[in-house]
Chains A and B, each alone.
Chain A
Amino acid sequence: MEFDWTPEQDAYRERIRTVLARELPADWDHIAVHGPGSDEQTAFSRKFCPILADEGLFVPHWPHEYGGEDLSSWLHFILGEELWAAGEPRGGQYMNVNWIGPTLMRYGNEAQKQKHLTLIKSGQVLWCQGFSEPSAGSDLASLRTKAEPVEGGYSVTGSKIWTSYAGHADFCFLLARTSSEGKGAIVILLLDMKSPGIQVKKIPALIGEGDIHEVFFDEVFVPEEDRLGEEGQAWQIITGALSHERIGIPRYAFSRRTLDRAIERLKESGRFDDPVVQDRAGRAIALCEAARLMVYKVIDERSKNSPANAFGNLARWSLIRADNGVNEFLTEFLPEGLLGEYPMQQAHHQRAIAAGIASGAAEIQLNLAATGFLDLPREPRRGL
């Protein structure tokens, strides 16, 4: 057991920081404040991701056969930490490289891999995930969007909601069902968002511009070759994909960086002399450090090829606490950050208020940890 970075890991982090210092423009804070789904950040990501790719920092964690470097779990996570701490200049493309690409590698056929992995690697393509529906959020299996089998494929009708990045997305990782019967009827379709019959409606939100949408499907034809995996296999695929996402975002890194900047500002203005402010700052730092170590425990297990377990759900709760703890501190002691003075503080606020909702609600994480980690008995299902 040890808690030091290796010289290789230190050097890798430094290499990423050097690239970011060189490539992020002087007005990056003002771009990032619009949010990862915004026009501004999406346009920036289309320029930035190819640069990352040229530097070997876009898909280095992918296997060699798909153009990566088989980067270790730790180095991959260091990359994620540095990019998220910088305000995530990959925009919505972080999702492509972290879980959509790896899911396609595992379950896609050769044609799908050839088509999509090549596009994702180029840093020019955007995906959205068509999961949540008006009546299926945390209870994902109750989704109703229909994928009616027709000659040569499926006819998709229904709607999705809260869909991040849909306004700019080229493809959608869509869940729909071929019949009303259970999880086995769900299929995953790699839907071309230019297909006729799709309407995307932006939902104005507190969490940034263009970040969440409603997507309507009206008899959208999806060819059979765009189905991922076999019929009946979708739930297994999606469960595996989501387990990657549970702690996929190192949120504490952005929280800690934003907090450190705030402390410097409070020191400059003399407000940090107040012991109450020091007390609250110390507690916020402790939450960030706790989240970092809880997540590192998961990464350590991943690096040793241990199967994913419910400790990840526990770590996710730590991430939420850290984001909220820092957000509370900033909002109370540096409110000018939400009055236009510090764009990155606003960006942090907008990410923090979604921390317990995006990627699986906090309460779902607590449920999963209760039964999976603490081995508590399941709550009995109530009959009607």
Chain B
Amino acid sequence: MDFEPNEDQTSILDGLEQLIASLDTTPPLHGEIASWSQLLDDTVAEAGFLGIAREEGFGLLDAALIVERLARLGISCEAAASAIVAPGLIEDPALRPVALASSINAAARFLPMARALLVDQGEDALLVEVTPDAVEPVETLFAYPYGRLKDPGSLPSTRLTGQGPLLRRRWRIAIAVESAGLMLSALDTVLEHVKSRMAFGRPLGSFQAIQHRLVMTAEQAHATLWLSRQAAWRDTDSDAAIACAYAQEAVGKVAYDLHQFSGAMGLTTEFPLHFWTYRLRALQGELGGSSIQARAAVAPERANALA
């Protein structure tokens, strides 16, 4: 057990930090819901960060640390599917961004800019090669770009025989890892608010009723963080299901409380909180939601049927 990054991980994260510092990562504050950044996506991909799990001597945990850090930004890129899910399922690392769906007809995150769509089909997975003109955008409150295939049957696809369980395991890890980063940044945003916002002559954050619930939120965010990191390290079905179940269950309370303590400000798109909470809300229901993952954690033999 070692809960500190090793030298390689520190070096990778330092490099990522430098790259982030070179970009403008301020989220748009002009009524935008989603915060997709093509520049961020291109830059982290070209720098090789999203292919780390494919490299000798590195693995999913290293990818998880990168995804978690990128999720903390107010702007978003497609990192989790490329870095955590695609290795082992998509041979060509350049075939990205990657979208994930439980049905080929479903609206999926990142599909408007995706080059690949991985579909969970139970025992098998389906890899669909996508072009932007094959996708119609979907309007949503979820703070990711969403789209749906116009004519799914017309696109070239490859059946990945027997790879359904692998797809679901990695997808669960990816949801948990990304959730951890999102929760931590959402929490930071609200902590800043309650420390500076005054009510009844004192900061909001000095009221015990608020303090206790923020600590509970912090506990859930940090527990999600460590569960997701362990799941990425172990890459087992049960660890992945446990981490994802915990994360998806936590989203409801975390998102509710953080908006609650932001008051009416938190209901506007001028306050940046939704860039994290409405990404969390999107993840909350993926792969069937927390109940499916909780059941997969105790009855893995049924995981296929459940999903």
Find residues 159-206 in chain A having any chain B CB closer than 8 Å to their own CB: none
* Given A289-B227, A290-B246, A317-B215; A297-B298 close (CB under 8 Å): no
> A interface, by DSSP: helix, strand, loop or mixed?
helix
B203–A377 contact, CB under 8 A? yes
Residue numbers in A under 8 Å from B194 (CB-CB):
376
Check B215–A286 contact: CB distance below 8 A.
Answer: no
The 8 Å CB contact of A378, one of B9, B206, B291, is: B206
Complex alpha-carbon distance, A290 and B295, angstroms: 17
The reply to whether B249 and A286 form a contact with Cβ atoms under 8 Å apart is yes
Given contacts A293-B223, A317-B219, A377-B205, 12 further A-B contacts (CB under 8 A): A1-B9, A282-B297, A283-B294, A285-B297, A286-B245, A290-B227, A297-B3, A300-B2, A369-B218, A377-B203, A380-B202, A380-B206
Which of B76-84, B228-236, B271-279 is the interface stretch?
B228-236
Q: How far is the CA of A55 from the CA of B301 in the complex (A)?
A: 41
Contact with A374, one of B61, B214, B234, B245 (Cβ below 8 angstroms): B214
State in angstroms the CA–CA spacing of A287 and B245 once bound together: 10
A293 touching B203 in the complex, CB below 8 Å, given contacts A286-B297, A369-B218: no
By a CB distance below 8 angstroms, the chain A residues around B75 are none
- Set A272, A289, A373, A379: member contacting B207, Cβ < 8 A: A379
10 shortest A-B CB distances, which residue pairs?
A: A282-B294, A370-B211, A290-B223, A293-B226, A300-B3, A282-B297, A286-B246, A376-B205, A377-B206, A278-B295
A296 to B207, alpha carbons, bound, how many Å?
30
- The reply on A355 being an interface residue by CB < 8 A is no
Beyond A1-B6, A285-B297, whether A374 also contacts B215 by CB under 8 A is yes
With both chains docked as a complex, state the minimum distance between the C-beta of B270 and any C-beta of chain A, in angstroms: 24
Chosen A-B contacts, 23 in total, with CB atoms closer than 8 Å, are A278-B294, A279-B295, A280-B294, A285-B297, A290-B226, A294-B223, A297-B222, A297-B226, A299-B1, A300-B3, A301-B3, A311-B222, A317-B215, A318-B223, A363-B212, A367-B212, A370-B208, A374-B214, A376-B195, A376-B205, A377-B205, A379-B207, A379-B208
Chain B residues near A285: list those with CB within 8 A.
242, 297-298
- Any B CB within 8 A of the CB of A7: no
Which of chain A's residues 305-332 have a Cβ closer than 8 Å to chain B?
A: 311, 313-314, 317-318, 321
* Contact partner, B233, options A2, A317, A378, Cβ 8 Å: A2
Who on chain B is nearest to A288 by CB? B242
Q: Given A1, A74, A283, A378, which contacts B229 in the complex, CB threshold below 8 Å?
A: A1
Q: Could you give, for residues 145-161 of chain B, a 1 whenever the CB lies within 8 Å of some chain A CB and a 0 otherwise?
A: 00000000000000000
**CB distance A293 to B227 under 8 Å?**
yes
* B contact set with A: CB distance below 8 Å: 1-6, 9, 61, 65, 191, 194-195, 202-203, 205-208, 211-212, 214-216, 218-219, 222-223, 226-227, 229-230, 233-234, 241-243, 245-246, 249, 290-291, 293-299
- Counting chain A residues whose Cβ lies within 8 A of the other chain, the interface size class is 35 or more
Asked if A314 and B230 make an inter-chain contact with CB atoms under 8 angstroms apart, the answer reads: no
Q: Does A366 contact B (CB under 8 A)?
A: yes
Expressed in whole angstroms, the Cα–Cα distance for A366 and B245 within the complex equals: 24
Of chain B, the residue at the smallest CB distance from A376 is B205
Most buried by A among B4, B207, B222: B222
Distance of A294 Cα from B227 Cα, bound (Å): 9
Contact between B212 and A366, CB atoms less than 8 A apart:
yes
Query: A4 at interface (Cβ–Cβ under 8 A)?
Result: yes
> Which residues of chain B have C-beta atoms less than 8 A from A378's C-beta?
206
Contact A282 B295 (CB under 8 A): yes
Q: For the complex, what is the distance from the CA of A377 to the CA of B195, rounded to whole Å?
A: 7
Neighbouring B residues of A283 by C-beta, 8 Å: 245-246, 249, 290, 294
Contact A376 B211 (CB under 8 A): yes
On whether the beta carbons of A5 and B223 are closer than 8 Å, the reply is no
Given A1-B3, A286-B294, A318 contacting B207 (CB threshold 8 A): no
Question: Which residues in A have their C-beta under 8 angstroms from that of B191?
Answer: 374-376
Contacting residues, chain A, for B1 (C-beta < 8 A) = 2-5, 9, 74, 296, 299-300
Residue of A286, A293, A367, A378 with highest tally of chain B CB at under 10 A: A286
In the complex, A146→B194 CA distance in Å? Answer: 42
Per the bound structure, the CA–CA distance linking A278 and B3 in Å amounts to 31
Q: Is A220 at the interface (CB under 8 A from chain B)?
A: no
In the complex, whether A275 has a CB less than 8 A from a CB of chain B is yes
- Distance from B57 Cβ to chain A, minimum over Cβ atoms (Å): 13
Q: Give chain B nearest CB distance to A255 CB in angstroms.
A: 14
Min CB distance, B8 to chain A, in Å? 10
Most A CB contacts (10 A, CB to CB) among B61, B208, B229, B249 go to: B208
Min CB distance A341 to B, Å, is 22
Q: Chain B nearest CB: distance from A161 CB in Å?
A: 25
Which chain A positions have C-beta within 8 A of B294? 278-283, 286
Cα–Cα, bound, A290→B226 (Å): 8
Query: What is the CA–CA distance of A380 and B200 in the complex, to the nearest angstrom?
Result: 12
A314 in contact with B222 (CB, 8 Å): yes
Cβ contacts under 8 Å, B3 to chain A: 1, 296-297, 300-301
Per the bound structure, the CA–CA distance linking A321 and B241 in Å amounts to 19
A1 touches B206 (CB 8 A): no
Contact A289 B218 (CB under 8 A): no
